[in-house]
Amino acid sequence: MTDYPGWNLLLVIWLAGAAFSILMGLIRRFHWLQWLAASLLLGPFALLLSPFLQGRGYTVSLLQRAQPGPSRPVPSDKKILHGPPLFVPEIRQLKSEGKLDEAADMLLVLIDTVEEKARRHGTGVPHWYYEQLARIYRKQEKTKAEIKVLKRCLDFGTIKPNASKRLQQRLNQVTRSR
pTM, two decimals, is 0.59
What CA–CA distance (Å, rounded) separates 174 from 155? 17
Q: Nearest to residue 31, comparing CAs of 66, 6, 2?
A: 66
Q: What is the pLDDT of residues 83-135, one digit of tens each?
A: 888 889 999 999 999 999 999 999 999 999 888 888 888 888 899 999 999 99
pLDDT of residue 50: 57
DSSP state for residue 159 in the 8-state scheme: S
Better-scored residue on pLDDT, 126 or 29: 126
Neighbours of 42 (CB within 10 A): 16
Angle value at C-alpha 144, between 98 and 129, nearest 5 degrees:
55
Q: What is the pLDDT of residues 52-71, one digit of tens each?
A: 555 444 444 444 444 555 56
Q: What is the pLDDT of residues 133-171, one digit of tens each?
A: 999 999 999 999 999 999 999 988 877 888 888 889 999
What CA–CA distance (Å, rounded) separates 34 from 8? 27
Where helices occur in the chain by DSSP H, the ranges are 7-27, 32-42, 46-49, 77-82, 88-96, 100-121, 128-139, 143-156, 161-177
